[in-house]
Amino acid sequence: MKHVKFIGFIFFLFSLTESLALPTKPQDVDPFYATQKFIEENTVYLTIIAVAQYVQEVSFDEVETLVKVMMDYRDGCLANWTLPECSKRANEAIQDMICSSEGLPQRHNISHCCSKVDFARRLCFFYNKKAKTGFLPPFPTLDPEEKCQAYKNNNGSFLNLYMYEVARRNPFVFSPVLLTVAARFEEAATTCCEQQEKATCFQDKAAPITQYLKASSSYQGTVCGALIKFGPKVLNSINTAVFSKKFPKIGFKDLTSLLEDVSTMYELCCEGDVVQCIQGQSQVMNHICSKQDFISSKIKECCEKKMPERGDCIINTNKEDKPEDLSPREPKFTDSQNVCQERDSNQDGLLIEFTHEYSRRHNYLSTPELLRVTKVYKDLLEDCCSRENAAGCYRHAEDKFNETTEKSLAMVQQECKLFQELEKDALKLHYLVKFTKAAPQLSLEELVYLSNGMMEVLTTCCTLSEEFACVDDLADLVLGDLCGVNENRTINPAVDLCCRADFAFRRHCFEHLEADTTYVLPSVSALISALHSDWCQAHNEDLQNKKHRFMVNLVKWMPEITAEECMCLFTKFTAAGEKCDEVQEPETCFHPEGSNIDNESGAANRNDKIPEVNISISVKCPNLL
Ligand SMILES: *[C@@H]1O[C@H](CO)[C@@H](O)[C@H](O)[C@H]1NC(C)=O
Ligand SMILES: *[C@@H]1O[C@H](CO)[C@@H](O)[C@H](O)[C@H]1NC(C)=O
Ligand SMILES: *[C@@H]1O[C@H](CO)[C@@H](O)[C@H](O)[C@H]1NC(C)=O
Ligand SMILES: *[C@@H]1O[C@H](CO)[C@@H](O)[C@H](O)[C@H]1NC(C)=O
Ligand SMILES: *[C@@H]1O[C@H](CO)[C@@H](O)[C@H](O)[C@H]1NC(C)=O
Ligand SMILES: *[C@@H]1O[C@H](CO)[C@@H](O)[C@H](O)[C@H]1NC(C)=O
Ligand SMILES: *[C@@H]1O[C@H](CO)[C@@H](O)[C@H](O)[C@H]1NC(C)=O
């Protein structure tokens, strides 16, 4: 990650803001002042978020202590901003506080970061974040009556606790999202605690909040993962596609200047700087709102709102209509004689402009698809520009674009077809089997998480008119979760390559993965014995979960098992229930005639050839679930 560029912004620029806000101007109209004020008012939440996201193991008591330290610091600086410690950035101040808190760095294994300085320390804190939060206890669920009692007794502390629990489990989500979540939760508590049916009320209100949090976290994690793994150019091309689709009216010059602010915002937010993330987002929104005439006619009402609603409102507004005079094709990229010259002098610029022009014209495509088309164009130019008749070569670029898009369309149609045809359990097993074949090294929890992710994507998207973009955009986020934000995961070489090779083509790469056979057991008897001992271990889990683990193990340990064998084994094990010694001759599943029980070469031979994922495995077997 680059050094952050936002030099002008420090946490408590109180007197500077005062001088910026001219006396004749009502202060809350000045965006800079409003942002600053917002940050000051939310110092408690922002401190909780930063601490809980950086050091997820931290206890709530420790957080409360740090909040007190931070509030004293803020008050001291507000009283006298010339104090030397007040020139620090907030993020630095918070990290200083974590590091100088008695015993805390040692207790939570963050000392190695505290011994570093400046950029190295910030990076170290960032790498300390863990996306998989299985090491934390499950999210505490209180009885609604208790919840309301706690809220009534001490609403501030209650909401702080909630913020802490949410932030430590979503270490990469941006601070404005968490502040919105907290505000909506507070609203829910206020409403629900006055009602008779508190539990139902909380359930109804919590669902959209959770949905919003998950969706934001997944999107932001994926984009930050792209920034970390592929660098600022890919970040810029993602945002070029996203903004050009949403605001097709915007000219390329205006877009370029807006995207500078957007990139800065992402760099700040991805790093985990909760305060500058807010300033960065506010800067982007001010930029958009100050140029509405050139950008969009649909955001007027949003721009009249205050932080943090304003940002969400703009993000959720419908796409602006395409300008009527926008030609269906931009000839500059395929019909002009001097494309290769332009490419030689400024390839990145040419490609970004191409992404912009293509995206605003094809705003019904997914973001990854727009990046794929750009990649196809880049590769085509590379080929054509080395040829004699370059212009004749790239004139047919559009065929190539359509070819790529058709492949992606076919993939989505296939996915939605499965969704229409299979029952819910069967579909889930299909994805469990598919993910297990590709990445048997993952834990059952993660495999189930990813499968549920795909189920949600298809449930959300497969009936919409913009089915393609919806599936392709959201399924890409499931892979983003799999590939990780701040780490280069080492799952297995094929999966690692898909995560790392090309951001745009991730989905295609995963689609063509073959089964990884690292985990394959050498023989039928080894398989049965392993299934047996796993089934009989006390896992303290419900039957559904046990059955899922059984399926995952079956596929891990024998990826090429047939549907009949699978169903047979499954029946025998589940019939015996918890009574392990009563599994009836599972070996016979592989030898219906009951002979050759000890002959293992049959099973071993089949491991040589790994077939494609056979859907009938997941269709027949799980009907029993
Ligand atoms: C503010 O802090 C500066 C630097 O420590 C000090 O010189 C000054 O006297 C302080 N001003 C007030 C009003 O306390
Ligand atoms: C502490 O963190 C370091 C660096 O991330 C890691 O190598 C080490 O295993 C961690 N120790 C514990 C006890 O978690
Ligand atoms: C707590 O409740 C009081 C009275 O209802 C209200 O004035 C205050 O703003 C609330 N505090 C928080 C942090 O919501
Ligand atoms: C490519 O696809 C678009 C949209 O389906 C269509 O309008 C266009 O004619 C196609 N172009 C070519 C060269 O096939
Ligand atoms: C992951 O890989 C990228 C690109 O190869 C590299 O720049 C980055 O430092 C790596 N990150 C980690 C945490 O190793
Ligand atoms: C999948 O497995 C079933 C049952 O073993 C078999 O009949 C079918 O031909 C297989 N399909 C493919 C595409 O391999
Ligand atoms: C074991 O199975 C293989 C393949 O099914 C077969 O060729 C071989 O004759 C069998 N060996 C014995 C001892 O039955």
- pLDDT tens digits, one per residue of 536-565: 887 777 777 888 888 888 888 888 777 678
Ligand nearest to the CA of 106: 2
* Tokens linked to 589: 């599943």
Q: Which pLDDT band holds residue 592 (cuts at 50, 70, 90)?
A: low
Nearest CA to ligand 2 atom 14: 109
**DSSP one-letter code for 173:** S
- The domain made up of 415-511 is a member of CATH 1.10.246.10: yes
DSSP string, 475-516: HHHHHHHHH-SSS---S-HHHHHHHHH-STTHHHHHHTPPPP
Nearest CA to ligand 1 atom 13: 80
Distance from the CA of 229 to the center of ligand 5, in angstroms? 6
Query: Would you say residue 9 has pLDDT above 70?
Result: no
pLDDT tens profile 475-529: 999 999 999 999 999 999 999 999 999 999 999 999 998 888 888 888 888 888 8
Residue 141's pLDDT is: 85
Cβ of 15 closer than 6 Å to ligand 1, yes or no, is no
Mean pLDDT is lowest, of 128-142, 195-209, 427-441, for 427-441
Nearest CA to ligand 6 atom 11: 614
Nearest residue to 517 (alpha-carbon basis) of 606, 597, 620, 616: 606
Distance from the CA of 151 to the center of ligand 3, in angstroms? 10
Residues 330 and 323: beta-carbon distance below 8 Å: no
Distance from the CA of 188 to the center of ligand 3, in angstroms? 14
Distance from the CA of 602 to the center of ligand 7, in angstroms? 7
Ligand nearest to the CA of 523: 7
DSSP string, 390-454: HHHHHTTHHHHHHHHHHHHHHHHHHHHHHHHHS-HHHHHHHHHHHHHHH-TTS-HHHHHHHHHHH
Distance from the CA of 55 to the center of ligand 2, in angstroms? 13
CB neighbour burial string for 323-360, b if at least 16 within 10 angstroms, e if fewer: eeeeeeebeebbeeeebbebbeeeeeebbbbbbbbbbb
**CA–CA dist 499, 515 (Å, integer):** 16
pTM: 0.85
pLDDT tens profile 392-422: 999 999 999 999 999 999 999 999 999 999 8
Atom of ligand 5 nearest to the CA of 486: 13
Q: Which pLDDT band holds residue 154 (cuts at 50, 70, 90)?
A: confident
pLDDT tens profile 70-110: 999 999 988 888 888 888 889 999 999 999 999 999 999 99
Domain ranges within the chain, ordered by starting residue: 415-511, 520-625
Cβ of 488 closer than 6 Å to ligand 5, yes or no, is yes
Cβ of 82 closer than 6 Å to ligand 1, yes or no, is yes
Nearest CA to ligand 3 atom 7: 155
Classify residue 231 as left (phi > 0), alpha (psi -120 to 50) or beta: left
Q: Which pLDDT band holds residue 610 (cuts at 50, 70, 90)?
A: very low
